[in-house]
Amino acid sequence: MELDNLSRRLIERFQHGMPLCPEPYRAMAEALDCTEADVLDRLARLQAEGALSRVGPVFEHRRAGASTLVALSVPEARLEQVAARISQFPEVNHNYRREHRYNLWFVLTGPDRAHLSRVLDEIEAETGLMPLDLPMHTAYRIDLGFPLETLR
Amino acid sequence: MNTEQHLELRRLLEQGLPLVPRPYRLLAERLGCAEDEVLAQVGEWQAEGLFRRVGLVLRHHALGYRANAMLVLDIPDAEVDDVGRRLGQAPGVNLCYRRPRRPPQWRYNLFCMIHGREREQVRQRIAALLGEQGLAHHPHALLFSIRAYKQCGGRYAPAAERRHG
């Protein structure tokens, strides 16, 4: 999608942080010298086009609960069906097909590790496939958003 | 705010702030409490480090970043912290995590995400990165994503509470 100038400035300025106040979109508009209606319009448009997932906090998963990266090696003929079933779990986000023998990769999040273990057991029982359970051990770099200079 | 309202607020925040002029007032109405209580609680959580960041959360694919590669490496345990820190600082590396090996199915213990507009460009950047860092001799694999079936934020708040909402 093509980003207009205001959308790009919004992303550059506010993907790493935004004002915490009763009228955050008005505060963002003041910072960018436009109207609150312009900000809301651009955010709604970015969301409708799929570029904006949401506005608000990204939870620090070690503080917020438990998470793990999971991989499945799914026979090609069953891949679409298994992927659709996996996506139905509310605990699943970022479910991707990747080019590898382990061809389905997703992140599980939940309130605690015991909850994730139950979901992993359920996935194994339902699909007959043994999940690779790869929880984070150490983070050397966490995702802080897009490199702004390449958004042009 | 009581414990149930705290959980419900977390569940609502996981879905994103409403795009209306007074988003916290709208959340407060749903929770049955006051706007300033919601703002105070969010501020407290932010100060405590519950959030990694607060802002616009984007999807790279829709913005033209169609080549998304997961680089996995098998680095000896004694060296992995050093290599992880170096790769984590390298330009273009969005994420760098150590994860457990699962032999015999999975030997790799270091995971990096690299996004770009085109696959060939990402492949070349990774080849250059491995060369510069002296890592090309370690076993590694490049897993490009072919399709995103689901892309959303984590849902940490307990599901039972969510149903009550």
Burial category of A39 from C-beta neighbours within 10 Å (exposed 0-12, middle 13-18, buried 19 and up): buried
Check if A31 contacts B (Cβ < 8 Å).
no
Q: Which domains does chain A have, with CATH numbers?
A: 5-48 (no CATH), 61-134 (3.30.70.3460)
Give yes or no for a contact between A96 and B147, defined as CB atoms under 8 angstroms apart. Answer: yes
Label residue A10 by pLDDT band (50, 70, 90).
Answer: very high
Q: Name the one residue in this structure whose structure tokens are 């389905």.
A: A104
Provide the domain count of chain B: 2
Q: What is the pTM of this model?
A: 0.80
**One domain, residues B44 and B72:** no
Q: What is the pLDDT of residues B140-150, one digit of tens each?
A: 999 999 888 88
Q: Is B124 inside any structural domain?
A: yes
**One domain, residues B67 and B135:** yes
**One domain, residues B35 and B91:** no
Q: Is B15 inside any structural domain?
A: yes
Q: Kindly report the nearest CA distance between residue B11 and chain A, in angstroms.
A: 11
Q: Which residues of A touch B45 (CB under 8 A)?
A: 57
Q: Is B107 inside any structural domain?
A: yes
Q: What is the pLDDT of residues B129-138, one digit of tens each?
A: 999 999 999 9
User: What value does the mean pLDDT of chain B take?
Assistant: 90
**One domain, residues B48 and B103:** no
The pLDDT value given to residue A98:
96
Provide the residue range defining the domain that includes B28.
3-56
Contact criterion met (CB < 8 Å) for B154 and A64: yes
Whole-number Cα distances in Å, B77 to B103, B107, B126: 14, 12, 22
% residues pLDDT > 70 (chain A): 93
% residues pLDDT > 90 (chain B): 72
**One domain, residues B33 and B102:** no
Q: Is A60 a residue whose pLDDT tops 80?
A: yes
Check if A101 contacts B (Cβ < 8 Å).
no
Check if A40 contacts B (Cβ < 8 Å).
yes
Label residue B159 by pLDDT band (50, 70, 90).
Answer: low
How many other CB atoms are there within 10 angstroms of residue B146's CB atom? 11
Q: What is the pLDDT of residues A96-140, one digit of tens each?
A: 999 999 999 999 999 999 999 999 999 999 999 999 999 999 989
How many other CB atoms are there within 10 angstroms of residue B48's CB atom? 10
Q: Is A5 a residue whose pLDDT tops 50?
A: yes
Q: Is B150 inside any structural domain?
A: no
Interface probe with A: pick from B11, B27, B149, most Cβ of A within 10 Å: B149
Residues B117, B133: Cα–Cα separation, whole Å: 23
Contact criterion met (CB < 8 Å) for B62 and A1: yes
